[in-house]
Amino acid sequence: MSAQATETQSKFDSFKWLIAIAVLVGGIVAFNIYSEQALWIRVAAVLGALIAAFAVVMTTASGKALWQFAKESRIELRKVIWPGRSETVRTTIGVLIMVIILGLFLWGFDSLVVWVLNPIIG
């Protein structure tokens, strides 16, 4: 984790969020209003609105914190030691065997309960 202090929220952040929501809603409304246009044009308009809204949100304090979190996550992801092919195969086989054993156990337990309770319940 970074030792940086978190950025304080600006007094315009709420306004920026409202702008981002308005741009996104505007794109969706435009998609429905201009139904006579080609579908790809309407989809491009919604995607453009989504990108514009995302750009506005990324200028807020929470957007900057999200970007910082994503960068730090990427750094941590590089530190992960990924298992090799043989270890992955062995682990997968072990998981499959345990799933089969547990499935058989639950099937047997369910059959026993049905066998015991069937004469009682009818």
Q: Tens place of pLDDT for every residue, the chain, 122 residues? A: 454 545 567 778 889 999 999 999 999 999 999 889 999 999 999 999 999 999 999 999 999 999 999 999 999 999 999 999 999 999 999 999 999 999 999 999 999 999 998 888 87
- Distance, first Cα to last Cα, the chain: 62
Residue 100's CB is within 10 A of a number of other CB atoms, namely: 10
Q: With 0.85 as the threshold, say if the pTM is over it.
A: no
Q: Where are the domains of the chain?
A: 13-79, 82-122
Return the half-sphere exposure (C-beta side, CA atoms, 13 A cut-off) of residue 7.
16
Q: Look at residue 5 and give its three-state secondary structure.
A: coil
Residue 48's CB is within 10 A of a number of other CB atoms, namely: 13
CA separation for the pair 29, 31 (Å, rounded): 5
What is the residue type of 114?
V
Contacts of 31 (CB under 8 A, 6+ apart): 42, 43, 45, 46
The token pair that represents 47 in the structure block: 């995607």
pLDDT of residue 5: 45
